[in-house]
Amino acid sequence: MDKLQWAEEVAEKIIKKSEVVAKENKENIPYTTVDGKFDDMVKANFCWWTNGFWGGMMWQLYNATKNDLFREIAENNEKILDRNFMEAQGLDHDNGFKWLPTAVANYRLTGNKASKNRGLLAANNLAGRFNPAGSFIRAWNDGGDGNTAGWAIIDCMMNLPLLYWASKETNDPRFKQIAMLHADTAQKYFIRPDGSSNHIVEFNPVTGEYVTTFGGQGYKEGSSWTRGQAWALYGFTLSYIHTQNKQYLDTAIRVANYFIYNIPESGLIPVDFRQPEDCTYEDSTAAAIAACGLLEIAKQVNEKDSKIYEKAAINLIKTLAEKRCNWDLNVHNILEKCTAAYHDERHEFSIIYGDYYFIEAIWKLTGKELFIW
Ligand code: GLY
């Protein structure tokens, strides 16, 4: 890839801002900002699914700068997550999102044995969520939504790399086999013929039979929640990278082509590609995640196709850099206009994984990336 001057300049701005912001957030784990300052999930919910992204951001920044401040904060984030291992209700399919960017990243960079141990504990727990009847990994534990024993969600594709990593580390194929069985189920039941994806699929947890789909965090059943499309696009690409099973790449490409076709002229991504026309809700996280996935697809396909995916990714990221980034050093977040779910009361705010994937995408473009997934 040619050197992109604008991306180099954005990388410099990220580092400059992060050096200031990190100093003010050494002990907390942020989810969002309140009046421009990061909140603290250690106090609010130490098991929350996003609690690995701050550590992941710090490892990406450490990898690029070798500034020990970033490493120390990442190590602290990883240690805080240990409490989660003693809270069974707070362990779910998101173990990948929590421990890949923290413990496994640490282990990859430093060989730290305690970090490897944490990664393997998280992987074993994730593997234990596999339901052989329906051949899927159960997403959440029962809470507000009633009985969710039969629920699987597309986001889980991003958690599978924890299992691929565990198989390699332990020389035990079980983890990888479980990941591939889940990916096969996701291909069959989540990805629609047009390349769009369901968010939630319910199976009968006893017989394994398909029951129904739910719109989940998107607009409605049968709609097209953009972050879910992005998880599918990136997640299937990762399953291909870890297994070399060509079907996963074909699926990722199908979702990618659908995603690219639906990008509005503005280059800014709505919360749902099928939300009502008069609704302007955006989700910048979907743009950043999709860009990361598209850049990985670009590395797996022929030269001509590679340019298509690279160009689409660059357009998404450049649009975010020009229109949706906040470079004020007094404001902690970078990315603006992120949305967790279409039907939430709150829309278009800062969310930590938006910042994480934006940085990951800029790092991919500038050669600074630590490969986390
Ligand atoms: N994995 C949950 C979400 O994307 O909001």
Task: Check which CATH number belongs to the domain holding 269 and give it.
Answer: 1.50.10.10
Is residue 155 marked as binding? yes
Task: Please tell me the distance between residue 2's alpha carbon and the centre of ligand 1 in angstroms.
Answer: 33
Is residue 140 marked as binding? no
Q: Is there a catalytic annotation at residue 82?
A: no
Nearest CA to ligand 1 atom 1: 155
Specify whether the CB–CB gap between 338 and 349 falls below 8 A: yes
* Six-digit token string for 266: 């503005």
Specify whether the CB–CB gap between 196 and 213 falls below 8 A: no
Evaluate whether residue 265 is within a structural domain.
yes
Nearest CA to ligand 1 atom 5: 340
Residue 309: pLDDT band by 50, 70, 90 thresholds?
very high
Task: Please tell me the distance between residue 51's alpha carbon and the centre of ligand 1 in angstroms.
Answer: 12
Q: Which residues of 145-168 are buried (b: 16+ CB within 10 A; e: fewer)?
A: eeebebbbbbbbbbbbbbbbbbbe
* Average pLDDT of the residues in 26-42: 98
What confidence score (pLDDT) does residue 135 get? 98
Task: Please tell me the distance between residue 12's alpha carbon and the centre of ligand 1 in angstroms.
Answer: 29
Evaluate whether residue 242 is within a structural domain.
yes
Q: Who lines ligand 1 at CB under 6 A? A: 49, 155, 217, 227, 340
Evaluate whether residue 232 is within a structural domain.
yes
Q: Which domain holds residue 100?
A: 3-366
* Six-digit token string for 364: 């991919």
Entry pTM = 0.98
Beta bridge partners, 200, equal 153, 214
- In the chain, the number of structural domains is 1
Q: Is there a catalytic annotation at residue 155?
A: yes
Is residue 54 marked as binding? no
How do residues 102-148 score in pLDDT, each as one tens digit? 999 999 999 999 999 999 999 999 999 999 999 999 999 998 777 99
Residue 281: pLDDT band by 50, 70, 90 thresholds?
very high
Burial degree of 309 (CB within 10 A; 0-12, 13-18, 19+): buried
Specify whether the CB–CB gap between 100 and 372 falls below 8 A: yes
Of 260, 285, 263, 277, whose CA–CA distance to 347 is shortest? 285
What confidence score (pLDDT) does residue 146 get? 78
Is residue 227 marked as binding? yes
**Ligand 1: which atom is nearest the Cα of residue 231?**
4
> What does the radius of gyration of the chain's CA atoms come to, in whole angstroms?
19
Evaluate whether residue 323 is within a structural domain.
yes
Query: Among residues 2, 92, 142, 155, which one is catalytic?
Result: 155
Nearest CA to ligand 1 atom 2: 155
Evaluate whether residue 9 is within a structural domain.
yes
For a ligand 1 pocket test, name from 151, 155, 159, 283 the mutation site with the most ligand atoms within 8 angstroms of its C-beta: 155
Beta bridge partners, 35, equal none
Q: Which residues of 213-246 are buried (b: 16+ CB within 10 A; e: fewer)?
A: bbbbbbbeeebbbbbbbbbbbbbbbbbbbbbebe
What confidence score (pLDDT) does residue 206 get? 97
Task: Please tell me the distance between residue 270's alpha carbon and the centre of ligand 1 in angstroms.
Answer: 15
Rounded to the nearest integer, the mean pLDDT of the chain is: 98
pLDDT of residue 241 exceeding 80, the answer is yes
Task: Please tell me the distance between residue 217's alpha carbon and the centre of ligand 1 in angstroms.
Answer: 8
For a ligand 1 pocket test, name from 157, 160, 217, 272 the mutation site with the most ligand atoms within 8 angstroms of its C-beta: 217
Alpha-carbon gap, residue 16 to 57, rounded angstroms: 14
Task: Please tell me the distance between residue 286's alpha carbon and the centre of ligand 1 in angstroms.
Answer: 10
Evaluate whether residue 372 is within a structural domain.
no
pLDDT of residue 313 exceeding 90, the answer is yes
Query: Among residues 2, 35, 68, 94, which one is catalytic?
Result: 94
**Ligand 1: which atom is nearest the Cα of residue 285?**
4
Specify whether the CB–CB gap between 332 and 25 falls below 8 A: yes
How do residues 202-228 score in pLDDT, each as one tens digit? 999 999 999 999 999 999 999 999 999
What confidence score (pLDDT) does residue 164 get? 99
Residue 2: pLDDT band by 50, 70, 90 thresholds?
low
Alpha-carbon gap, residue 83 to 245, rounded angstroms: 36
Evaluate whether residue 373 is within a structural domain.
no
pLDDT of residue 1 exceeding 70, the answer is no
**Ligand 1: which atom is nearest the Cα of residue 94?**
1
Evaluate whether residue 371 is within a structural domain.
no
What confidence score (pLDDT) does residue 143 get? 84
For a ligand 1 pocket test, name from 231, 284, 338 the mutation site with the most ligand atoms within 8 angstroms of its C-beta: 231
Alpha-carbon gap, residue 29 to 44, rounded angstroms: 10
